[in-house]
Amino acid sequence: MTHAEESSAAADRVGKVLQQIGLELAFAAPGQAASATTLDDLFTSLLVALPDSAPAALVAGVTAAAERLLTVAGGVVRPSAEALAYLAAWHPWCEEALAAWGAGRPVTTWQPTTASGETAAAPPATAAPAPPAAVTVAPPAPAATAPSTPAAPLPDLPELSVDVLPADADPDLLHLFCAEAQDLLRDIEQGVLALETDPGDSGQINALFRAFHTFKGNAGVMKLAVLQQFTHELESLLDHARRGSLALGREAIGVILAGADVLERFVAELAAQVAGTRPPEALSLPIPAVIEATRRVMESPAAAGPVAEAPARVPPPVAPPVAPAPPAPAVASAVAIGPAPTGPSAVGASPPVVPVAASVAPTPVAHQALPVTAAPPPAAAAPATPRGAPARVASGAIVRVDTHKLDSLIDLVGELVIAQSMVVQHPDLVASGDTHLSRAVGQLRGITSDLRRTAMALRMVPIRGTFQKMARLVRDLALQQGKEIQLVLEGEETELDRTVVDDLSDPLVHMIRNSADHGIEPPAEREAAGKPRQGTITLQACHQGGYIVIRIRDDGRGLSPERIRRKAEERGIVAAGATLDRREVLELIFAPGFSTAETVTDLSGRGVGMDVVRRTISGLRGKIEIDSTVGSGTTFTLSVPLTLAIIEGLLVGVAGERYVIPTLSVRESFRLQPEMVSRLQGRGEMVMVHGRLVPLLRLRQRLGLDGAAPDGVVVVVEAGALSRCLLVDDLIGKQEVVIKDLGEIFRDRTDFAGAAILGDGRVGLILDVAALVQLRGRQGEAAA
């Protein structure tokens, strides 16, 4: 008995590795280098885990498989379908052998299938493929009722038992995940149904793809690795459809629905387990079957016949495809296998390409498929409980962190940067001339700046989510207005600060609406103009310096400067006959109360859009530019800092105080000569900049600082179409500063956008250029 106990402990360790191999095999696809590497590693672990006392037959079998993998897959070489099929057949044998060893039974010798190309051959000793296992969570008896009602005939593959509750997960987050997942699944279902009537609807396919994609991402965040990989398969199917390499036929739609059913069951179970209304147990799901069906649909895009009829490589199914779980006979089929009296896994033996994962009910005896709830299985027959195993494979390397913690980390890093520069710039240190010290200080500086970059990167998220919302918007707008519009997304992976992403959404919606509404012409008009019927809106993001640049480009009718001007004059936004260059005319559309639409539509054209957009973008310390050619389209270009936490600033001195002007707003600077200034009505001062008069604002006076500096440096700043010359005493330099909130007490001080801690530890105020530039209105009133 001691021997048996020892063996069972070792078998337990081996079983765990074997389980991982099974799971990896379930998801491995031919030609994937990653899975080959993982498998290689796992086999190494397996060989290490096998004790000397293991039966020779088992060791031989494992070695044979490992060698097979090494020769065929080669660790780095992509595994062939043949190699995977070999392993798929090997895996159940190994499980069985392990179970037999654990139970002290004789181990059958591994006999590879005909190693020829006939990968479909049933594994050795398997008389007939076994029917799928019953759902492990449910009581064993009513097996036929347990599985989902598949919307499509699925391949006859056993179910995969997966852990529902991820380890160490936050119940609140799981709850959120469930809520969101249920929403997504609702969307998926509706999308699939819509696709059924119109299989070519690319918008729906895209929406479905995104839904699965989001689901996958969420599952990854929750470390639901199995779910994530499963969703990935469905996402790939839709990706093919989205790219047009696959027509979504009835069977494909059936597979997607079946996949959605699986997800739904999982989420329902997860929700129940999180809520505590169900015990934390593993759940059996027909994941291998759906994956297999998915792959088949993908492999035969054109001739994707009914899925169930395509099992050329699957042994003749015993069970009718639609009834996934025939009840009792499982026990009978168990006996058919090999010399082992009780154990062999007929279940796992059948699928050649998508093997059964390790945790699939390890023995055919029905009650043994219930590792958790059922009576204890005979003498360590199960190599390991399925619990915990799936989560270990390819666990998502993502950690959810409270944003407050992140923010305080970034605050601290900001302080560290300041402290570092205080040390580095300390006169004593500079004067010491000690090379050791200066080298150490240089290293400190390097590490600090790396640390800051890393810390900032923590808050970065891709803009994808925001972009994808626009796809839906464009689709709806096009439908509503009878236009044909395609949205092209570029640079979705561009990352920027989480807080900025949220704030960008509304302006983008406004601008996309504008493009779809005013920009893109109706199809007939486009054809008449010699353009394709379908209009294109391109949404593009990229990094440029410390900024994210987003371009919204349409190939519509463009903005007519004459019309804009006329409208602006009608509305009293600009005086008739004012001299404006083309850019300034285009900028007029950002003026409050401006609208170019001839008819006011439901969507835009009420003149509330673009001025709000500009204000929002300014609020993000960004800027927006417009370019348009009549007849060929309009481009809006947004530049927004990647983060709200740090800006590059121009440090200026005014009456002994230092102020920061965001560099993005600075156009140029020059030393003021008295003759440059012209006075209007003895009050308003203007400076000639490149042939244009720009109002001068003396910062000393504006900021209530004493003394007059007759000459100083002019910094020309701009916000939107407005510019202004700020007169400062001197320029001190450029510096990246961490922006600090000035606090409630100064909320009404609109001259300042915030504060920054400067190199010497003192506080410098950041000027709010948008507010300073707007002062024109107030001065005008005063002058009138």
Partner 1 sequence: MPPADGGVAARPGKYLTFNLGEESYGITVLVVREIIRLCPITPVASMPAHVKGVINLRGKVIPVVDLRTRFGLPPRADDDRTCVIVTELAGATGASRLHGVIVDRVDEVAAFAAADIEPTPDFGGAIDVRFLTGMAKASGRVTALIDLDPELAAAPSDSSPSR
Interface positions with partner 1 (CB under 8 A)? 411-412, 414-415, 418, 657, 702-705, 740-746, 748-749, 751-752, 755, 757, 761-765
Closest distance to partner 1 from the beta carbon of 648 (Å): 19
Closest distance to partner 1 from the beta carbon of 705 (Å): 7
- The answer to whether 24 and 37 are in contact (CB under 8 A) is no
Task: Give the single-character DSSP code of 546.
Answer: T
Give the nearer residue to partner 1 in terms of CB position, either 4 or 771. 771
Give the nearer residue to partner 1 in terms of CB position, either 343 or 712. 712
| C-alpha span between 489 and 467 (Å, rounded) | 7
Closest distance to partner 1 from the beta carbon of 495 (Å): 26
- The answer to whether 714 and 725 are in contact (CB under 8 A) is yes
Task: Give the single-character DSSP code of 359.
Answer: T
Give the nearer residue to partner 1 in terms of CB position, either 319 or 655. 655
Is the four-CA dihedral 233, 237, 240, 242 of positive or negative sign?
negative
**Quick check: helix, strand or coil at residue 377?**
coil
Closest distance to partner 1 from the beta carbon of 618 (Å): 21
Nearest to 14 by CA among 282, 389, 396: 389
Give the nearer residue to partner 1 in terms of CB position, either 361 or 660. 660
Cα-based angle 751, 769, 730 (whole degrees, multiple of 5):
90
Closest distance to partner 1 from the beta carbon of 745 (Å): 5
Closest distance to partner 1 from the beta carbon of 712 (Å): 17
| C-alpha span between 346 and 533 (Å, rounded) | 59
Token pair for 632: 């060929």
Token pair for 13: 């360790």
Task: Give the single-character DSSP code of 315.
Answer: P
Give the nearer residue to partner 1 in terms of CB position, either 278 or 698. 698
Residue type at 606 in one-letter notation:
R
Closest distance to partner 1 from the beta carbon of 163 (Å): 40
Give the nearer residue to partner 1 in terms of CB position, either 59 or 771. 771
Closest distance to partner 1 from the beta carbon of 757 (Å): 5
Give the nearer residue to partner 1 in terms of CB position, either 414 or 607. 414
Give the nearer residue to partner 1 in terms of CB position, either 510 or 658. 658
- Residue 634's φ and ψ, nearest 5 degrees, are -130, 145
Nearest to 676 by CA among 647, 626, 717, 711: 711
Closest distance to partner 1 from the beta carbon of 752 (Å): 7
Closest distance to partner 1 from the beta carbon of 546 (Å): 21
| C-alpha span between 457 and 6 (Å, rounded) | 49
Other Cβ atoms closer than 10 A to 625: 16
Nearest to 311 by CA among 289, 333, 337: 289
Give the nearer residue to partner 1 in terms of CB position, either 682 or 743. 743
Give the nearer residue to partner 1 in terms of CB position, either 315 or 414. 414
Closest distance to partner 1 from the beta carbon of 778 (Å): 13
Encode 200-210: b = buried (16+ Cβ within 10 Å), e = exposed: ebbbbbbbbbb
| C-alpha span between 655 and 704 (Å, rounded) | 10
Closest distance to partner 1 from the beta carbon of 755 (Å): 4
Encode 679-717: b = buried (16+ Cβ within 10 Å), e = exposed: eeeeebbbbebeeeebbbbbbbeeeebeeebeebbbbbb
Closest distance to partner 1 from the beta carbon of 753 (Å): 13
- Residue found under tokens 């936490």: 645
Give the nearer residue to partner 1 in terms of CB position, either 178 or 756. 756
List of residues 6+ apart from 143 with CB closer than 8 A? 134, 135, 325, 326, 327, 328, 330, 366
Closest distance to partner 1 from the beta carbon of 27 (Å): 47
| C-alpha span between 433 and 54 (Å, rounded) | 68
| C-alpha span between 633 and 519 (Å, rounded) | 7
Give the nearer residue to partner 1 in terms of CB position, either 408 or 480. 408
Give the nearer residue to partner 1 in terms of CB position, either 408 or 432. 408
Cα-based angle 244, 246, 249 (whole degrees, multiple of 5):
125
Burial (Cβ within 10 Å: 0-12, 13-18, ≥19) of residue 648:
middle
Run of H or E residues at 415: helix 403-424
- Residue found under tokens 């409050």: 592
Closest distance to partner 1 from the beta carbon of 713 (Å): 19
| Cα-based distances in Å from 768 to 1, 63, 622, 663, 749 | 81, 71, 12, 12, 10
HEC profile for 721-732?
A: CEEEEEEECEEE
Nearest to 84 by CA among 14, 32, 131: 32
| C-alpha span between 160 and 502 (Å, rounded) | 39
Give the nearer residue to partner 1 in terms of CB position, either 111 or 779. 779
Give the nearer residue to partner 1 in terms of CB position, either 391 or 758. 758
